[in-house]
Copies of this chain bind each other. A is one copy, B any other.
Amino acid sequence: MKPHLDSLPPDMISLDDYARLSRQFIEPATWEWLQGGSGQLQALKANETAFSRHAIYNRVLVDMKHGTTRSHLAGLDLAHPIALAPVGYHRLVHDQGEVATARGALDTLMVVSTMASVAIEEIAAAAAGPLWFQLYMQPHRDDTLHLLRRAETAGCQAIVVTLDTPVQPASHAAHKAGFVLPPHIDAVHLRENGPPPPVALSAHGRALFQAMMAQAPTRTDLEWLRDATALPLIAKGISHPGDAAELLAMGYDGIVVSNHGGRALDSAPAPLTMLPAVRSELGPDAVILFDGGVRTGSDVFKAIALGANAVLIGRPQLHALAVAGSLGVAHMLKLLREELELVMALAGTPTIADITRSTLVETDYPGGSSC
């Protein structure tokens, strides 16, 4: 594969450019893993299509000279409402992995994955902006607690617990491309975990339910977790308003509406479709992040208009990291933020709070996707 670039070609002007170019910088099997979705890809495609159902009014009579993307999110004061989603194994596309990503995350919140290929302490030492820690609950509570304490000690300012993949369906494309983690890359945070608990299947017992799902976090586990940290605690992978409401009632500080980038339930709805119902259920003050197919400033704007406080960016991190390391990540974020500013300028919304449902008009035709 090509070595990372030291400077940016002048025709890198959108996240799509990074996606396209990154193919030359990423091993083919890794590319399939990164781009893949579960099953028949219904959820993955729905994420992209959903944005085209909404258009944004161009407004012309608003004074925009005090325009700003400044955002407040669970106690953080952020330059803009765009954050880096938790993505595992950054070292698959860059030797320094998450450390390089964190260096490029200027002014930007980064959510570090449990499945990071570099330790949270090293990432924190390099980070250009605030960090949150994404938690997969472990079979042994001690291991989970140990992860929490490391994240707190490293300075992470919130915990994001992912709930939508107690088991994860296969990406057919990644499987066929033969993707496996290379021996020198692993989930470093899990090295010290105890062995998984033994499972005795009953007669006719099914491994999925009696083994894997038996280790999935239950409501009791989630209550325990709420008590286990004083940090803001956010549940990720929520699409049903009822689940969202229950989590808030359990003391959670917010949720991430997400279908795991089309990598969890293969026929899950697009999270954009679910945002309005979730916001309506939780009310105006709940913290709601959005994750799923954001690639342009218009996408960010639409997610906010439909109920999100901020958005998370997944695959484009690794595209940019593969192409040009920290510089690529910083540039990718700059492009997206400037696109958001441009959309806000033309939509007549000087602040994030002005981006409400009334800025949108529904359309019945796809617009943004090539047919």
Residues in chain A within 8 A of chain B (CB atoms):
11, 13-14, 16-17, 39-43, 45-46, 49-61, 63-69, 79, 163-167, 169-170, 172, 175-176, 204, 206, 208-210, 212-214, 216, 218-219, 222, 235, 237-240, 243, 246-247, 259, 264-270, 273-274, 296, 298, 301-302, 338-339, 341-343, 345-347, 350, 361, 363-369, 371
A264: which B residues are within 8 A, CB to CB?
58, 346
Question: 11 A-B pairs, CB-CB below 8 angstroms?
Answer: A40-B298, A40-B369, A42-B52, A42-B55, A45-B368, A55-B268, A58-B259, A61-B247, A66-B209, A68-B209, A169-B346
Whether A363 contacts B269 in the complex (CB less than 8 A), given A39-B296, A39-B339, A209-B68, comes out as yes
Whether A46 contacts B208 in the complex (CB less than 8 A), given A64-B213, A268-B56, A346-B167, comes out as no
A347: which B residues are within 8 A, CB to CB?
265
Whether A42 contacts B346 in the complex (CB less than 8 A), given A60-B164, A170-B13, A218-B63, comes out as no
Shortest C-beta distance, A231 to chain B (Å), equals 20
Copies assembled: 4
- Please state if B79 and A219 are interface contacts (CB–CB under 8 Å): no
Q: What 8 new A-B contacts, CB under 8 Å, besides A56-B265, A67-B213?
A: A39-B339, A46-B55, A49-B365, A53-B364, A58-B268, A167-B345, A269-B361, A371-B371
Report the bound CA distance from A239 to B57 in whole Å.
7
- Please state if B298 and A57 are interface contacts (CB–CB under 8 Å): no
* Nearest chain B residue, comparing its CB with the CB of A268: B58
Report the bound CA distance from A272 to B175 in whole Å.
31
Whether A172 contacts B346 in the complex (CB less than 8 A), given A243-B61, A361-B269, A367-B45, comes out as no
- Please state if A204 and B338 are interface contacts (CB–CB under 8 Å): no
- Please state if A206 and B56 are interface contacts (CB–CB under 8 Å): no
A65: which B residues are within 8 A, CB to CB?
209-210, 213-214, 216
Of the candidates B66, B239, B343, B363, which one forms a contact with A265 in the assembled complex, judged by CB atoms under 8 Å apart? B343
Interface of A is mostly: loop
A176: which B residues are within 8 A, CB to CB?
11, 13
A68: which B residues are within 8 A, CB to CB?
206, 209
- Please state if B345 and A58 are interface contacts (CB–CB under 8 Å): no
Report the bound CA distance from A166 to B63 in whole Å.
11
A42: which B residues are within 8 A, CB to CB?
52, 55, 298, 367-368
Report the bound CA distance from A46 to B298 in whole Å.
15
Whether A342 contacts B167 in the complex (CB less than 8 A), given A42-B52, A61-B246, comes out as yes
Whether A361 contacts B214 in the complex (CB less than 8 A), given A11-B175, A267-B343, comes out as no
A259: which B residues are within 8 A, CB to CB?
58
Shortest C-beta distance, A6 to chain B (Å), equals 21
